[in-house]
Amino acid sequence: MSTRTPRTAARRRAAALVVALFALVVAGTLATGVDPRPAAAADGGSGGSPLTVSGHDAFSGLKVTVAQTQHLVNQVVKISWKGGTTTDSDTTYAADYLQIMQCWGDAASGPDPDQCQFGGSSALGAGTGSQAAGSYTNTRQLTYAGLTDPAQKMPPPTPSGISYVPFRSVTGDVVTKGNWNEFYDVSTSNEVPYARTGADGTGQVYFEMQTALEAPGLGCGDVAAGHVGTQGRSCWLVVVPRGTTEVDGDSYLAQPNGMLRSSPLSATNWQQRIVVPLKFEPIGNYCPIGADERSTLGDETVAEAVLRWQPALCQTGRKTIYGYAEVTDDTARAKLASTKPGLVFLNRPPTADSLPPDRRPVYAPVTLSGLTFGFFIESQAGFTAGENVKKENGNRLTSLNLTPRLVAKLLTESYQDGNSRFAPSTAKNPFNLARDPEFQRYNPTYKDLDFGGALGDMIAPEPLSDAAWQLWNWVGHDPAAHEFLSGVPDNSGKYGDKAFSGMTVNPSYKGIGLPVDNFPKNDPFCQQFADHPDNPLCVQDKHPYASDMHAGARAVARGDTLARTTWDNTTIPPAYKKNPPQTAGQRAVIAVTDTATAKRYGLVTANLQNASGAFVAPTTGSLLAGLAAMRPSGVAGVLSSEPRAASPAAYPLTLLTYASTVPEQLGKAEGQDFATLLRYAVGAGQQPGVASGTLPDGYAPLPEALRRQTLATATAVATRAGTSPAAGDSGGDSSGGGSSSGGSGTSGGTGATGGTGATGTTGGTPTRGTTPAPAPAPPRQTSSATRGQTPVAARGPLPLTPAWALGALRYALLIALVTGLVAAATGSLLPRVATRLPAVPRIRTGQGPAAPADDGKG
């Protein structure tokens, strides 16, 4: 890693922009990769088949409930139990705890121990950090230094003389060498090595169910090669309860360290296992082979719904596959200006001057959700906390109130640990969110808690988005947040025995013009080290971006800050390596995400302060109240959010996502297929559930008025498609890859409450202060690494240059190239030359991306 300077950062951004634009023009970057991840509610539900299983023998009173056991994807599911024996300590695991793991296995009785993913956490040491436990309890090791399991048939020892339970993967590989391997490690395993039972005999954990993409050694959800299926490979959840007796019959107190020592995979412990069958949605081959494909692309906030609908849609009607590629809203808007608009998803329409004169986009509401701050925070008592607080250590906190000003503090590196505690720019500010007197006023239950080096910031997604724009619009309209960002200190306060005369914004953000459609990292401070002076620790290592909101939410669910702060001079070249997830019981992470993704990963969502002063959670009722507060955008059929809505019930970051196309630029069959998709989206696609084809938790079903608008738009698309020359109609286009599709609906009607009248109409005059949309950036294909499903194979090779890209470039490429290069070269300066916030932040429909802010790294 080389030394980073603003100049080299600018050069790298400029080069990256040129490469991205060049790749867009000369390469078919919009491959029809599909991410058919049908999301499922994290807390189960009527379609998720919650299941309760009892223990046996010494644990016959234990009853374990898994909140969802069917229609599973990569998601987080609540596991709870009652009838257990209290785990004595809140900081150690000597005895009386549960060990939980995911396994594969085809036998009706359940898996063998060599089919289970376990042992990865042993890389952190016994008991994972400060929560001490017996030496071998989180391992696959069977050699216990004097302790012998009489029921265990010992595998051959390794050259070091140690025997391990081998790991036998679903692919037939057998690994005998240790606790982790090429299939899983400390950063990827979903095992829960220690789960505590409370004083009342109950407990709970939130467990990540992993598909074959996250856990290739288990193969959950796989469909046999050459087959098309609606059910993926089943797997198992295994719970091994631990009591007070070791494998040789002695008490744990008789052990050298006064703790259980043996592995849960050891034969005597394994006999006490509780097994729960898990049914997974199919990965990859669930659509008819050879079916036509229609590509869609757009905003991430629709992804959970679109990808849930696709598997059901491709089994009906024309059995069309609807691809989906996740791209920025600007890219989606630019595509509408091309000769091959396809169908795009966006939150705000393009401006009139960014479209050719003959383009008449139509808009159809498809999902109602919200932007949120999903968190996983466990209670951690401070040094001076009372016993009533300490006894809650490790318990998950379920409430978090955030004001616009608190959000601004977290997103502007204004806490000492928002970038680095050594940064002089924030030396007089509180260390983190929990130590902020303002935060404590709104969150008194956090007053005696201490989260160490956590909660200095929140994980933010890297891509530009209208969702980010709306967040900053809400922040900028709040008087207190506006003053803070302008340089006015907040109210004075006290944390513990330390008084704060008033927290101030990080100077690198003072006067930042809002709203922007990204989450800048402006503070250039980098921490220097004597042993590697040419490789300082900068904000992009200590507080990196997530690749998107989905990746951020999954990271939070795993207690993963994404940070890379450990210098590793053994790599070539030497670099900072990724930190392991936070220790169970000591997790504290927040991320910017959408409500549906937060639900998928079992995150608690923050209550946000709206303009009335009320703190509101993103529920179906509050999202509908936020929708009712929206106002006409200036484009027919499109509503705009209202950050200063007076209703106490309104959620301030409500998001209404539209599907849009230009019917005259579509072929006739293409128009029919997209109309089918729209009808399904507001028909069966609005039915809440966890099965394929339903609406995932985290979305509010659309009101009838909006459904009528979409049905009317569908009719307009089907009727007007093919009425003017269109560039091809061969069943698929070159626009993207991923999921959603058709169905039936009822007659059309008027627009949504608060809308602008007739539906299926053309774009109108945009709000003042607009600018042309930039040239489209290459789309972010939803990859198996971040989305949780296998792409459906494309029908054939794609053209090197997508026709829609050339059409859009005719209007935007030159301007975007020149503007982008200038912005890249000067991005690090722009936040610093801004003198102050506008008194009333401008609403900029179709606003192009803000100049990238300097991250201090290059």
- pLDDT score at 499: 63
- pLDDT score at 738: 34
Contact predicate 35/789, CB 8 Å: yes
Taking phi over 0 as left and psi of -120 to 50 as alpha, with beta for the rest, 88 belongs to alpha
Query: Which residue type, as a one-letter code, is found at position 138?
Result: N
Q: Is residue 143 part of a domain?
A: yes
* CA–CA distance, 206 with 75 (Å, rounded to integer): 10
Q: Each residue of 422-431: b (16+ CB within 10 Å) or e?
A: ebebbeebbb
Q: How many domains does the chain have?
A: 3
List pLDDT tens digits, range 158-192. Answer: 998 999 999 999 999 999 989 989 999 999 999 99
pLDDT higher than threshold 60 for residue 603: yes
- pLDDT score at 319: 86
Question: Is 385 in the same domain as 323?
Answer: no
Query: Which residue type, as a one-letter code, is found at position 451?
Result: F
pLDDT band at 125 (very low <50, low <70, confident <90, very high): low
Contact predicate 193/137, CB 8 Å: yes
Question: Is 142 in the same domain as 203?
Answer: yes
- pLDDT score at 500: 60
- pLDDT score at 827: 36
Mean pLDDT score of the chain, rounded to an integer? 81
- pLDDT score at 47: 59
Q: Is residue 602 part of a domain?
A: yes
Question: Is 642 in the same domain as 670?
Answer: yes
CB atoms within 10 A of CB 648: 14
Judged on CB neighbours under 10 Å (0-12, 13-18, 19+), 803 is middle
**Whole-Å CA distances, 577 to 189, 449, 564, 785, 855:** 18, 29, 5, 19, 19
| Residue with token string 């991205």 | 20
* CA–CA distance, 789 with 379 (Å, rounded to integer): 34
Question: Is 173 in the same domain as 154?
Answer: yes
- Least Cα distance to 340 among 772, 108, 662 occurs for 662
DSSP bridge pairs for 78: 206
Q: How many helices (H) and strands (E) does the chain have?
A: 18, 31
pLDDT higher than threshold 50 for residue 5: no
Question: Is 122 in the same domain as 242?
Answer: yes
- Least Cα distance to 85 among 94, 75, 95, 76 occurs for 95
Q: Is residue 839 part of a domain?
A: no
Average pLDDT value for residue range 358-387: 96
Number of residues in the chain = 858
Average pLDDT value for residue range 551-569: 96
- pLDDT score at 179: 93
* CA–CA distance, 13 with 826 (Å, rounded to integer): 10
Q: Is residue 844 part of a domain?
A: no
Q: Looking at 280, 300, 322, which one is the last position of a domain?
A: 280
Question: Is 213 in the same domain as 273?
Answer: yes
List pLDDT tens digits, range 15-51. Answer: 443 334 333 333 333 333 333 333 333 333 345 799 9
List pLDDT tens digits, range 250-275. Answer: 999 999 889 999 999 999 999 999 99
Question: Is the N-terminal amide bond of 520 cis, ω within 30° of 0?
Answer: no
CB atoms within 10 A of CB 46: 11
Q: Which domain holds residue 568?
A: 378-620+827-833
- Name the strands in the sheet holding 203-209, side by side, starting at the edge strand that comes first in the sequence: 51-54, 63-66, 75-82, 203-209
Percent of the chain with pLDDT over 70: 76
Question: Is 191 in the same domain as 272?
Answer: yes
Contact predicate 318/300, CB 8 Å: no
Average pLDDT value for residue range 223-241: 85
Which stretch of 466-470, 558-562, 787-791, 794-798 has the lowest confidence by average pLDDT? 794-798
Question: Is 86 in the same domain as 23?
Answer: no
Question: Is 252 in the same domain as 300?
Answer: no
- pLDDT score at 200: 95
pLDDT band at 494 (very low <50, low <70, confident <90, very high): low
| Non-local CB neighbours of 509 within 8 Å, separated by 6+ positions | 412, 413, 414, 485, 520, 522, 523, 831
Determine the angle formed by the axes of helices 704-720 and 668-681, rounding to 10 degrees.
Answer: 170
Query: Which residue type, as a one-letter code, is found at position 446?
Result: Y
Report the run of H or E that residue 716 belongs to, with start and end.
helix 704-720
Question: Is 657 in the same domain as 601?
Answer: no
pLDDT higher than threshold 70 for residue 737: no
Alpha carbon of residue 744 to chain centroid:
31
Q: Is residue 851 part of a domain?
A: no
Structure tokens at 835: 């003198």
- pLDDT score at 730: 42
Question: Is 475 in the same domain as 406?
Answer: yes
Percent of the chain with pLDDT over 90: 68
Contact predicate 709/365, CB 8 Å: yes
- pLDDT score at 88: 86
DSSP letter string over 464-518? --HHHHHHHHHHHHSHHHHHHHHT-----EEETTEEES-----GGGTT--S--SS
pLDDT band at 358 (very low <50, low <70, confident <90, very high): confident
Question: Is 66 in the same domain as 20?
Answer: no
Q: Is residue 854 part of a domain?
A: no
pLDDT higher than threshold 60 for residue 768: no
pLDDT higher than threshold 60 for residue 496: yes
pLDDT higher than threshold 70 for residue 75: yes
- pLDDT score at 757: 34
List pLDDT tens digits, range 400-431. Answer: 999 999 999 999 999 999 999 999 999 999 99
Contact predicate 176/165, CB 8 Å: no
pLDDT higher than threshold 60 for residue 758: no
* CA–CA distance, 142 with 165 (Å, rounded to integer): 7
Report the run of H or E that residue 189 belongs to, with start and end.
none
Alpha carbon of residue 682 to chain centroid:
25
- pLDDT score at 854: 34
DSSP bridge pairs for 192: 100
pLDDT higher than threshold 70 for residue 846: no
Average pLDDT value for residue range 752-776: 36
- pLDDT score at 126: 57
Q: What is the CATH number of the domain that holds 693?
A: 3.40.190.10
